[in-house]
């Protein structure tokens, strides 16, 4: 018996020492965190973003604890069985140390963010990838499809503000959206992804709410006002300290560095998506918008920024955009503008010019404001109707409802559908466009 006891103790010793080493990583600075907030050797917060041509490239970013100092991504053309592993290629990732303690409301500890860009991919091909330390600690294999080179059917999802109680109340919305459009090519998050820009617990909720969806749908994140907040020893409101480490986004070198990775353009199968930062340096972005519209040969053009150009909520007004950006949107016949910020729902369009027999049939830009989270504001219909002197007509509204939107372009039609959190259709339009003349109209 004495031998047995010693043998058992010897067996348990490595386990105990391993347990101490694991928990040793989670110092007193991490006390009180949920298990899904804690970093470890296992990759978490995995997210795909666009970086380069969507037909031939994709960026991936993920997080680990600081013991992972070398990170690796593997990718292969997907097959019907697991034999793709035999041909998977590996590439080293860039690793960045990130100190959560920069913000006083976070626990004070450091993590590692890793990122890489898959390049030289084949268009219209389903790939499978995984990320890890190159040895023992890997994510699961995750699939995505590259864009086609030419114009083809495209479907994507758009969310207004998630912002508040994200894990509790936004999770069902993004998951319902995934059930509705599982093969969506990408997703636009139109700002205020969380409420407190630098608070890591809220980012943890955002990633947990979406789960694997973030690593499978390619994200187009837009900065909102709640992606900016004060930071100790810094003047003014600062961009979320997590934004650039956790999203690998295009850098428009000609713009002020403050706008890097918050203002960018994505061209996806002849759909141009222009992403703006409606919080800062607006004049500089006006020239950027002009250049992106002048140079565009895309069949469809979509602009997204957080603040509503035609604000539907009480007490909101983005006058600068109406005076400086709207004339460009009119001039270059932009198709859709997708906004958040106002925590209610409104869809309207321009131009709205009265003729003798009613409104002009020619359709200009369609403006949409939506909300996907639980925070809701009252609609100001008088304000919306007052925009008619700027050529705007209010077409559809919604209040006290969490929404998501699915947008599909195919042939010469763009179909927009807004769903509520139950997956019920709330609003639908179909835009038919003559690509030669640029003229558009709503069809049944």
Q: For the segment 108-127, what is each residue's pLDDT rounded down to a tens digit?
A: 999 999 999 999 999 999 99
Mean pLDDT of the residues in the chain? 92
The neighbouring-strand residues paired with 156 are 186, 407
According to the model, what pLDDT value does residue 440 have? 95
- Residues 209, 355: one domain? yes
pLDDT band at 16 (very low <50, low <70, confident <90, very high): very low
Residues 6+ away with beta carbon under 8 Å from 161: 190, 191, 192, 193, 224, 226, 340, 341, 343, 371, 372, 373, 375
According to the model, what pLDDT value does residue 444 have? 80
According to the model, what pLDDT value does residue 308 have? 98
- Residues 267, 201: one domain? yes
pLDDT band at 352 (very low <50, low <70, confident <90, very high): low
- Residues 242, 116: one domain? no
- Residues 332, 284: one domain? yes
The residue out of 96, 118, 145 marking a domain boundary is 145
pLDDT (tens digit, 9 = 90+) per residue, 75-96?
999 999 999 999 999 999 999 9
pLDDT (tens digit, 9 = 90+) per residue, 150-163?
999 999 999 999 99
Residue 439 lies in a domain: yes
Residue 64 lies in a domain: yes
Q: Does residue 136 sit in helix, strand or coil?
A: coil
The neighbouring-strand residues paired with 354 are 359
- Residues 131, 197: one domain? no
Helix 171-180 to helix 200-210 angle (10° resolution) is 30
The mean per-residue pLDDT over the stretch 379-397 comes to 94
In terms of phi and psi (left: phi > 0; alpha: psi -120 to 50; beta: otherwise), the region of 84 is alpha
- Residues 265, 386: one domain? yes
According to the model, what pLDDT value does residue 351 have? 83
pLDDT (tens digit, 9 = 90+) per residue, 396-425?
999 999 999 999 999 999 999 999 999 999
Residue 1 lies in a domain: no
- Residues 135, 166: one domain? no
Residue 31 lies in a domain: no
User: Cα–Cα distances in Å, from 165 out to 153, 202, 205, 206, 291?
Assistant: 35, 8, 8, 9, 38
Query: How far apart are alpha carbons 79 and 284 in whole angstroms?
Result: 46
According to the model, what pLDDT value does residue 233 have? 73
- Residues 118, 216: one domain? no
Counting the structural domains of the chain, the total is: 2
- Residues 262, 360: one domain? yes
State the residue range of the domain holding 278. Answer: 155-443
Residue 370 lies in a domain: yes
The residue out of 119, 145, 171 marking a domain boundary is 145
pLDDT band at 199 (very low <50, low <70, confident <90, very high): very high
Helix%, strand%, coil% for the chain, nearest 5: 25, 30, 45
The mean per-residue pLDDT over the stretch 250-263 comes to 97
The neighbouring-strand residues paired with 266 are 273
Query: How far apart are alpha carbons 392 and 394 in whole angstroms?
Result: 7
Residue 38 lies in a domain: no
pLDDT (tens digit, 9 = 90+) per residue, 276-329?
999 999 999 999 999 999 999 999 999 999 999 999 998 899 999 999 999 999
Residue 123 lies in a domain: yes
Residue 30 lies in a domain: no
- Residues 91, 178: one domain? no
pLDDT (tens digit, 9 = 90+) per residue, 204-254?
999 999 999 999 999 999 999 999 999 987 778 999 999 999 999 999 999
Confidence check: pLDDT of 21 > 80: no
**CATH number of the domain to which 103 belongs:** 2.60.40.380
Of 28-32, 45-49, 171-175, 387-391, least confident by mean pLDDT is: 28-32
**CATH number of the domain to which 438 belongs:** 3.60.21.10
- Residues 364, 314: one domain? yes
The residue out of 112, 145, 178 marking a domain boundary is 145
Torsion sign (Cα): 113, 114, 118, 119: positive
According to the model, what pLDDT value does residue 336 have? 98
Percent of the chain with pLDDT over 90: 88
- Residues 215, 88: one domain? no
């Amino acid at each position: 018996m004495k031998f047995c006891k010693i043998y058992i103790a010897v067996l348990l010793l490595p386990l105990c020492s391993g347990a101490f080493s694991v928990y040793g990583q989670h110092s007193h600075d991490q006390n009180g965190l949920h298990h899904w907030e804690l970093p470890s050797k296992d990759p978490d917060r995995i997210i795909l973003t666009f970086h380069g041509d969507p037909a031939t490239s994709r960026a991936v970013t993920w997080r680990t604890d600081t013991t992972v100092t070398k990170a690796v991504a593997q990718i292969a053309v997907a097959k019907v069985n697991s034999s793709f592993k035999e041909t998977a290629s590996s590439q080293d990732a860039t690793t960045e140390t990130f100190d959560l303690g920069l913000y006083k409301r976070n626990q004070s500890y450091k993590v590692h963010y890793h990122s890489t860009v898959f390049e030289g991919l084949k268009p219209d091909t389903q790939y499978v990838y995984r990320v890890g330390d190159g040895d023992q600690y890997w994510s699961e294999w995750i699939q995505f499809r590259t864009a086609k080179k030419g114009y083809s059917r495209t479907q994507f999802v758009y969310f207004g503000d998630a912002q508040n109680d994200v894990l509790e109340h936004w999770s069902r919305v993004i998951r319902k959206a995934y059930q509705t459009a599982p093969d969506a090519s990408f997703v636009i998050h139109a700002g205020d992804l969380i409420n407190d820009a630098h608070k890591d617990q809220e980012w943890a909720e955002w990633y947990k709410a979406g789960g694997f969806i973030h690593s499978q749908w390619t994200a187009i994140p837009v900065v909102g006002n709640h992606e900016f907040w004060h930071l100790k020893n810094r003047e003014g409101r600062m961009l979320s300290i997590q934004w650039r480490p956790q999203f690998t986004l295009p850098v428009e070198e000609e713009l002020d560095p403050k706008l890097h990775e918050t203002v960018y353009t994505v061209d996806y199968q002849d759909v141009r998506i222009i992403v703006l930062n409606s919080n800062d340096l607006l004049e500089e972005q006006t020239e950027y918008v002009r250049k992106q519209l002048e140079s565009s040969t895309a069949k469809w053009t979509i602009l997204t920024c957080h603040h509503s150009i035609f604000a539907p909520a009480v007490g909101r007004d983005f006058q600068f955009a109406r005076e400086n950006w709207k004339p460009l949107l009119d001039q270059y016949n932009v198709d859709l503008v997708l906004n958040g910020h106002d925590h209610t729902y409104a869809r309207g369009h321009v131009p709205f010019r009265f003729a003798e027999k009613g409104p002009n049939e020619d359709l200009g830009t369609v403006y949409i404001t939506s909300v996907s989270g639980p925070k809701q504001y009252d609609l100001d219909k008088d304000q919306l109707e007052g925009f008619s002197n700027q050529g705007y007509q209010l077409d559809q509204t919604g209040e006290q409802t969490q929404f998501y939107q699915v947008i599909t372009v195919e042939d010469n039609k763009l179909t927009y559908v807004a769903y509520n959190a139950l997956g019920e259709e709330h609003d639908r339009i179909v835009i038919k466009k003559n690509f030669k003349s640029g003229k558009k109209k709503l069809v049944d």
